Amino acid sequence: MFRVGVGFDAHRFDPEGKRPLKLGGVVVSTELSLKGHSDADVLLHALTDALLGAAGEPDIGELFPPSDPRWKNADSALFLKEALRRVRKKGFEVINADCVVVCDRPKISPVKGKIVENLARLLGVPTDRVNLKGKTTEGLYSPEGISVICTVLLGTVK
């Protein structure tokens, strides 16, 4: 059996933020920072929600509410690991993931390889099963932050 999931997330830039910008668990900028209760890793949040959605589990906001002080400055890899645990508990494995990072800054191409490698490591799949695209909006939405859309495909373990 196959199951598909989609996840979306968006975070605003924090002009006064001191926390370095992390995407997919990789620090991609020390000049930019995103607002958020956890480490604000918008890519890991969207990917986590895609996994949870595919497995028919509650979403990231339900499992890890921002009102809970436990998740303050939390490493978002924790959220992804919990989503994976739930995926595997239901007898599924990740087949592939495809993600689009929508932002005008920072540039994604120089850090793409590093992010893909880390996502593959976190998901426990070869790097050719993870795809990442950086898309600018050409100023269309005067982006004040970063948004991400991810899809994942799960398959039952034989």
Contact set with Zn ion (CB under 5 A): 9, 45
**Closest CB 158 distance from Zn ion, rounded Å:** 34
**Closest CB 148 distance from Zn ion, rounded Å:** 9
Q: What are the backbone dihedrals phi and psi of residue 25, each rounded to the nearest 5 degrees, phi first?
A: 85, 5
Residue 76 near residue 38, CB atoms below 8 Å: yes
| Residue number of the CB atom closest to Zn ion | 45
Cβ closer to Zn ion: 6 or 95?
6
Sheet with strand 145-156: strands edge to edge: 2-12, 145-156, 92-102, 130-135
**Closest CB 129 distance from Zn ion, rounded Å:** 23
Cβ closer to Zn ion: 45 or 112?
45
CA separation, residue 118 to residues 2, 43, 61, 111, 121 (Å): 24, 12, 23, 11, 5
Cβ closer to Zn ion: 37 or 86?
37
Angle in degrees, CA 44, 40, 67, rounded to 5: 110
**Closest CB 42 distance from Zn ion, rounded Å:** 5
Cβ closer to Zn ion: 45 or 129?
45
Cβ closer to Zn ion: 38 or 129?
38
DSSP code at position 71: G
**What residue type is assigned to position 99 of the chain?**
C
Partners of 93 in the β-ladder: 155
Tokens read off for 131: 């795809």
**Closest CB 120 distance from Zn ion, rounded Å:** 21
